[in-house]
Amino acid sequence: MAADRFGAVLYEKQGPIAWVTLNRPDQLNAYNMEMRDDLFAILSAIHDDREVRAMVLAGLGAAFSTGGDLHEFGLAPSPVGARWVRFRRDVWGRMRALPIPTAAAIHGFTVGGGLEMALLCDVAIAAEDTRICLPETGVGMIPGVAGTQTASRRLGLGRALDLCLTGRWIGAQDALLVGLVAEVVPLAKLNRSAARLARALGRFPRECSAMAKLAVWDGLDLPLHDGLELERRLGKRLALVFGRGTRRGLAGESAGPRRVCAP
């Protein structure tokens, strides 16, 4: 299928895989308001398209993304206006809430908001030339695309603080070592490897992926006992969806107290 051109983002479906490509190569895919609006529309379409079972987020040109276009976002009419626009276009919440596995295929400069976009995906794969940094504190800011939260969950407290506070640069192999990416490949093989990963991630029905993501992501914020209870409830719900419900449910009953509320 030919790519749909939204301007700052390209969208293409390859069977059950959605390819979302940042398309401001002359600006190293700096995130601007046009890209924000395009991503919101595309992610909304992916959320509602039951044919899609996995998504790849990539960047066109020499970089994945260098983060926010400071010139453009600096022209917001007022803090109140900027907050209202962000509320209406919650791109990052929409990406996080996708009921399918998401993979970031990163290369070149993956900086600031660009890295934070990758961290919002479920898994990332990096080309050998990838250069990663969270430089916001050096310019009087903090990571503002959920980076302070996703980095600590993905990397652990110490490594997240190191990236956020020092603004140090790391390469693809260091990113692999700390668990930021799952695989490092030659740049020429990045798209092929990302497609292979997306096919593996998308081989299950959407309901299975959605429940597994919900259990892992939401369980991070719960005590172990409550996380296990969440897992049990989601397992039973999934069993009912596929007609495999039994009196004990898919994973058996928990020894702890029952909850009747949905997660």
> What pLDDT digit, counting tens, does each position of 144-184 carry?
787 888 888 888 899 989 988 998 999 999 999 999 999 99
Write the CATH number for 52. Answer: 3.90.226.10
Clarify whether residues 111 and 159 are in a common domain.
yes
pTM surpassing 0.85? no
Clarify whether residues 65 and 27 are in a common domain.
yes
Cα 176 to chain centroid, rounded: 17
Clarify whether residues 140 and 27 are in a common domain.
yes
Note whether 202 and 100 are within 8 A (CB). Answer: yes
Q: 201, 232, 254 — which closes off a domain?
A: 201
User: Which residues are the active-site residues?
Assistant: 116, 136
Clarify whether residues 75 and 134 are in a common domain.
yes
77-125 pLDDT per residue, tens: 444 344 434 444 689 889 988 999 999 999 999 999 999 999 999 999 9
Clarify whether residues 129 and 64 are in a common domain.
yes
Clarify whether residues 32 and 87 are in a common domain.
yes
Note whether 32 and 24 are within 8 A (CB). Answer: yes
Q: Which three-class secondary structure state does DSSP give residue 91?
A: helix
Burial level of 112, CB count in 10 A (0-12/13-18/19+)? buried
**Which helix (H) or strand (E) segment is 184 a member of?**
strand 183-185
Q: What's the rounded Cα separation, in Å, for the pair 103 and 98? A: 12
Clarify whether residues 208 and 195 are in a common domain.
no
Clarify whether residues 136 and 114 are in a common domain.
yes
Q: 182, 201, 220 — which closes off a domain?
A: 201
Clarify whether residues 190 and 177 are in a common domain.
yes
Residue type, 210: A
Q: What residues make up the domain containing 236?
A: 204-263
Clarify whether residues 211 and 131 are in a common domain.
no
